[in-house]
């Protein structure tokens, strides 16, 4: 497995692991329940500037005439995902389609979009759930729609629960997704009795010992631990924002945001040195947060 972790931006472990055509082909085949030929061309077109807190946590790629946008969620599913993906898909099309062709007389055929979310959070969640953009539309009572009753715009997202015991048919067909699910489950198990830093480290050691994502984890070493640690911290920040009613959120990459992450990590028993490495704050700044 020849993985190349993105150095320009911070990858999540999910986006780093599934960033090769071979693994994406395996994953998509498992989700769709079909065998996609090995010679099927996969073109990755993830937007490197579509970041949340400077982290890439989405993947987009074309395969067999489909344009697939894949998102991972570790926390409670955000009901605004369809709206977010509406804005995302427009930018992807803009990236892959020659703008001059928009003005030609002949119709320009485009890849059919598909939107998939993989959920591995702690909350109870059904095997599968469908989210629709139209659920967010304001009341339009009294306004005339088309005679067919169809809405002029819709975007449908399929959400799959990939926690242990859920969607086993998908996990059985995708070795990498199954092993990734095991890694996240072990982190959750260890975190019940250990500080988060130790829980992440222990889960990685467990997986390497039992041959779970061993090559990927050994190749990237401590970088994966840092990514895992930051993945979880970012998800917790999202939960904090929601709980506090910060609909607009904090300014991306702000010092306040880093301080919140740092305080949260310190409260879970992380060392100041580790917190400094993860957040980018100086050791002196971290020590002041005690």
* Strand boundaries in 188-246, DSSP class E: none
Mean pLDDT by 10 residues, the chain (290 residues): 42 84 94 89 80 55 92 78 90 90 90 94 90 87 68 92 93 95 90 83 93 92 77 54 44 59 71 72 81
- For the chain, give the number of residues: 290
Largest CA distance in the chain: 66
Do the beta carbons of residue 96 and residue 145 sit within 8 Å?
A: no
Which of 12, 159, 71, 82 has the alpha carbon at shortest distance from 167? 159
Angle, helix 272-279 to helix 214-244, in steps of 10 degrees: 80
DSSP 61: E
Question: What is the dihedral sign for C-alpha 30, 34, 38, 43?
Answer: negative
CA gap 194, 269 in Å, rounded: 9
Do the beta carbons of residue 85 and residue 69 sit within 8 Å?
A: yes
Three-state SS sequence of 21-59? HHHHHHHHHHHHCCCCCCCCCEEECCCCCCCECCEECEE
């Amino acid at each position: 497995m020849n993985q190349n972790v993105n150095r320009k931006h911070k990858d999540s472990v999910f986006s780093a692991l599934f960033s090769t055509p071979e693994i994406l082909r395996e994953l998509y085949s498992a989700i769709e329940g079909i065998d996609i030929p090995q010679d099927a061309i996969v073109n990755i077109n993830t937007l490197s500037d579509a970041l949340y807190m400077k982290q890439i946590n989405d993947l987009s790629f074309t395969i067999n005439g489909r344009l697939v946008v894949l998102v991972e969620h570790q926390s409670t599913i955000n009901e605004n995902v369809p709206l977010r993906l509406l804005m995302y898909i427009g930018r992807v099309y803009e990236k892959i389609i020659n703008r001059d062709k928009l003005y030609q007389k002949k119709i320009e055929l485009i890849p059919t979009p598909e939107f998939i979310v993989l959920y591995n959070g702690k909350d109870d969640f059904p095997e599968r759930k469908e989210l629709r953009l139209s659920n967010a539309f304001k009341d339009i009572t009294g306004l005339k729609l088309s005679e067919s009753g169809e809405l002029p715009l819709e975007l449908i997202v399929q959400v799959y629960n990939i926690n242990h015991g859920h969607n086993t048919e998908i996990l059985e067909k995708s070795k990498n997704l199954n092993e990734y699910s095991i890694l996240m489950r072990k982190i959750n198990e260890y975190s019940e009795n250990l500080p988060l830093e130790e829980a992440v480290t222990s889960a990685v050691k467990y997986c390497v010992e039992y041959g779970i994502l061993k090559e990927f984890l050994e190749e990237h070493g401590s970088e994966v631990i840092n990514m895992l640690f930051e993945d979880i911290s970012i998800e917790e920040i999202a939960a904090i924002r929601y709980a506090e009613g910060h609909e607009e959120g904090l300014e991306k990459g702000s010092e306040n945001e880093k301080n919140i992450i740092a305080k949260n990590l310190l409260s879970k028993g992380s060392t100041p040195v580790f917190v400094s490495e993860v957040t980018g704050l100086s050791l002196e700044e971290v020590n002041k947060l005690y």
